[in-house]
A and B are shown apart, each in its own frame.
Chain A
Amino acid sequence: MTAPTPLPAQQAAPAHPAPGYASPIPVVRTHIGHAIASEWTKIRTVRSTVWTLLSMFVVTLGIGTLYALSLSGEDYVGMPLLAGGFFGLMLGQLGIITLGVLVISSEYGTGMMRTTLTACPRRGRVLTAKAIVFFLLAFLMTLAAAVPTALVQLAVLSDQEVPSYAVDDAVMEDSIVDGEVVASTDQVLGATLGAALYVALLGLLALAVGALLRHSAGAITVMLGVVLLPLLTALFLFGESVADLRDALIEYSPLNGLASLYGIPMMGDELDSGWPLLGLLALVTGGTLAAAFARLNAGDA
């Protein structure tokens, strides 16, 4: 062999110059709808979707039902009628968070992301489609768990006898009408639509964190920290000097946001309907998603 000098690129013609293959498949302009259809197929065809959603459903409705049954009878509970749904969904939301992370991090873990991005090189479109499909699914499934949980509370706990002192209880302000415990319209909305929206947003945040970290266990850990740490930290902050910090941690804890939607805020005055905290969560989620878009577009896949 002579010296390994590169030969000029145009040097050798193909052995049998062909006219080129013409694919019979019509050329189409794909749009976001194609990406959404594809992502819907992806999410419904892996087992992790089934078990995360199923566990969310079972835990939410199961704990909510146990709570209601354990308090049934005519004794006064001292909490808004639908509040019991919180305890189940507090744990059930972990299923949604896990699914949110897995929707994207499992693609990085398996190498599927490269296939996805060769099929749809517009990376923003891929992330948008994933976010839309996941958010709608998470919202509807959480709603499907929250509504029967609320119905169980109504059915089991409606005939409490209200003691006279209860009328002065601030927490029960909207809950007692004519000496009976009832669920106000606001409470019904909070415990169903509000809670479902809140948990779906938290799942979307998890998806964005998964896209940023590209690692399932890491992203799930971060999300557990986001959900649990503010409240846990607050438990260990004693003393007057850190009282403000402690109160802020409790007030802005994601768990407080959900609790507030069920009418049992842990702290705070103005934010206690839960909706302002839901708006805050939406902002944080939007910001994190924007960061995920930037990371996805900038780097190598």
Chain B
Amino acid sequence: MIELAGLTKRYGRTTAVQDLTFSVRPGVVTGFLGPNGSGKSTTMRMILGLDHPSAGQVRIDGRRYHQLADPLTHIGALLEAKAVHPGRTAYHHLLCLAQSNDIPLRRIDDVLDLVGLAGVAKKRPKGFSLGMGQRLGIASALLGDPRILMFDEPVNGLDPEGIQWIRNLMKRLAAEGRTVFVSSHLMSEMALTADHLIVIGQGRLLADTSMARFIEENARTFVRVRSPDHERLRAALERAGGRPRQCPDGSLEIEDLPAARVGELAAENDVVLHELSHQQASLEEAFMRLTHESVEYHARAGR
């Protein structure tokens, strides 16, 4: 369990994180979602005691991070930037971490096997691919077999196979009863992995909700229909009890009639259709709406 209370971080005049209060519970994957620069990595660094909060506090299973005598057996983290010395072999990197927390050395081979790096244990990370580097970071996080795991953008730069692997790993870790906290700026990725969702924008909490509920509230489905004769179509739909909405591109959107019924109504009234489709508003759109006002650079960056 990770608990944040009023957590705030200012760098000079920029406020990177403002008054964050939430808990991350065990047994589920909790997604930590926010656009670039919204303060995800800063929050995670404060959880690990690396950055000092300007205000507020963090508790790891009820304790402050620096009160943990052997922190790696409580919480393991994959940090945003590759936090390894490129000239030290994977094995030795894990060895120095294990020694600092008195972790049994057999764990090194265990985690190297688990992440699929056993074959390159004696190699220096200098020559590792992005995915291998990420796997080494995950091996470090898992080394102490901790109850809490935290990953900062673990799928960044990975190929589909790597993404799939990390997704399954996180679900498995959560199913074992661990607390899994994972950041991302992609809603679509979180929708596939996370059970719970924490959304921030410009350092502020925007949502703290279960994934199921977020989908229910945001995944709007509707029927899109296009016709050269849309006035007659509209009248027919309204007679059948629908409330079609006119879109700027000339199409109609109907939420209260199924696509099949719309087709039948068109046929009965001899209206020609150019399009009849079932639509689902994406979660990505919902996420963007949610963070819209908070996206600092969205106008300037033009993305």
Binds A, one of B22-30, B230-238, B259-267: B22-30
Q: Is B177 an interface residue (CB 8 A)?
A: yes
Binds B, one of A13-21, A173-181, A206-214: A13-21
Q: A14-B25, A20-B27, A41-B92 are in contact. Are A119 and B50 (CB under 8 A)?
A: no
Please give, as numbers and ranges, the residues of chain B lying within 8 Å of A117 by CB-CB distance: 48-50
Residue pair B101, A34 in contact (C-beta under 8 Å): yes
Look across to chain B and name the residue whose beta carbon is closest to the beta carbon of A298: B52
Query: Which B72-99 residues sit within 8 Å CB-CB of chain A?
Result: 72-73, 77, 79, 81-89, 92, 95-97, 99
Total A-B Cβ pairs within 8 A: 180
Q: A20-B27, A23-B73, A121-B66 are in contact. Are A1 and B104 (CB under 8 A)?
A: no
Q: In the complex, what distance in Å separates the CA atom of A34 from the CA atom of B73?
A: 14
Q: A14-B25, A25-B144, A46-B85 are in contact. Are A121 and B68 (CB under 8 A)?
A: yes
B-contact bits for A205-235, CB 8 A (1 contact / 0 none): 0000000000000000000000000000000
Smallest CB–CB gap between A21 and chain B, Å? 4
Residue pair B65, A45 in contact (C-beta under 8 Å): no
Q: In the complex, what distance in Å separates the CA atom of A117 from the CA atom of B195?
A: 30
Q: A41-B96, A114-B83 are in contact. Are A119 and B72 (CB under 8 A)?
A: yes
Q: Is A27 an interface residue (CB 8 A)?
A: yes
Residue pair B217, A14 in contact (C-beta under 8 Å): no
Q: How many interface residues does B have (CB within 8 Å)?
A: 68
Look across to chain B and name the residue whose beta carbon is closest to the beta carbon of A118: B48
Q: Is A239 an interface residue (CB 8 A)?
A: no
Q: In the complex, what distance in Å separates the CA atom of A112 from the CA atom of B87?
A: 11
Look across to chain A and name the residue whose beta carbon is closest to the beta carbon of B77: A118
Q: In the complex, what distance in Å separates the CA atom of A132 from the CA atom of B88?
A: 21
Binds A, one of B204-212, B221-229, B249-257: B204-212
Please give, as numbers and ranges, the residues of chain A lying within 8 Å of B290 by CB-CB distance: 1, 4
Chain A residues touching B, majority SS: loop
Residue pair B96, A30 in contact (C-beta under 8 Å): no
Residue pair B86, A110 in contact (C-beta under 8 Å): yes
Q: Is B146 an interface residue (CB 8 A)?
A: yes
Residue pair A12, B51 in contact (C-beta under 8 Å): no
Look across to chain A and name the residue whose beta carbon is closest to the beta carbon of B25: A14
Residue pair A1, B50 in contact (C-beta under 8 Å): no
B49: contacting residue among A2, A16, A47, A121, CB under 8 A: A121
Question: Would you mind naming 8 contact pairs between A and B with Cβ atoms under 8 Å apart?
Answer: A15-B195, A25-B104, A42-B96, A46-B85, A111-B79, A115-B83, A118-B71, A119-B100
Q: Name A's B-contacting residues (CB within 8 A).
A: 1-2, 4, 6-12, 14-25, 27-30, 34-35, 37-39, 41-42, 45-48, 106-107, 110-122, 299-301
